[in-house]
Structure 1
Amino acid sequence: MNLEVYTATWCPDCRRLDRWLEEAGVAHTTVDIEAVPGAAELLERETGKRAIPYIRVGGTAWVRGYHRELPQRLDPDLLVRELLGAAEG
């Protein structure tokens, strides 16, 4: 599964997600929206959101990389289900 994580260095949710992905051994590419020309615009155009982190799955589907409704802001089990759902189309 090709995962591109749209992120920024100043974002605590992004750091939390990146740490979890690294610890879980999940292969991914990081796209810094402040360093990669057009990345922020692509994210906003395709998701309608400016929030990060977002994960682009297979170059087409988008999954939110945080769960703002949860106190811990990231539920790994929920994230995996969302990623698998996006990969299935």
Structure 2
Amino acid sequence: MMSIEIYTTRTCPFCIRAKQLLDSKGVAYKDIDVGAEPSLRDAMTRRAKGKRTVPQIFVGSTHVGGCDDLYALERAGKLDPLLKGAA
């Protein structure tokens, strides 16, 4: 299983939806709350190649993007293979 990191804020509805999808898959992920720590948001922005919105989701070294991107992978049948490290 690939390591999963999701940069979030506590009140972001898109963050909540993305975590719900990951929870439904039964995968563990590291939730990095950038709301209270500007240095974490700066690190996220660098890692996400300039994107500042949350969530920003990473599966291993793959930058998935945001909530809509995560759900698009699910609809296309590509999320499960990615989560299993097969993508």
TM-score, normalised with respect to structure 1: 0.71
2:47 corresponding residue in structure 1: 46
CA distance in 2, matches of 1:64, 1:26: 18
1:74 to 1:57, Cα distance in 2 relative to 1, 3 A: closer
CA distance in 1, matches of 2:56, 2:37: 15
> Which consecutive aligned stretches of 4+ in structure 1 deviate over 6 angstroms post-superposition?
none
| Aligned residue type for 1:50 | R
2:26 corresponding residue in structure 1: 25
Given the alignment, which residue of 37, 57, 60 partners 2:59? 57
1:13 corresponding residue in structure 2: 14
Per-residue Cα deviation, 1:22-81 (whole angstroms, up to 9, x for no partner): 1220111100012456210011122211111111232x432113227xxxx834234617
1:12 to 1:38, Cα distance in 2 relative to 1, 3 A: same
Per-residue deviation, 1:9: 0.9
Q: CA RMSD of the aligned region, Å?
A: 2.8
Structure 1 spans left out of the alignment, 5+ residues: none
TM-score, normalised with respect to structure 2: 0.72
CA distance in 2, matches of 1:88, 1:26: 15
1:41 to 1:20, Cα distance in 2 relative to 1, 3 A: same
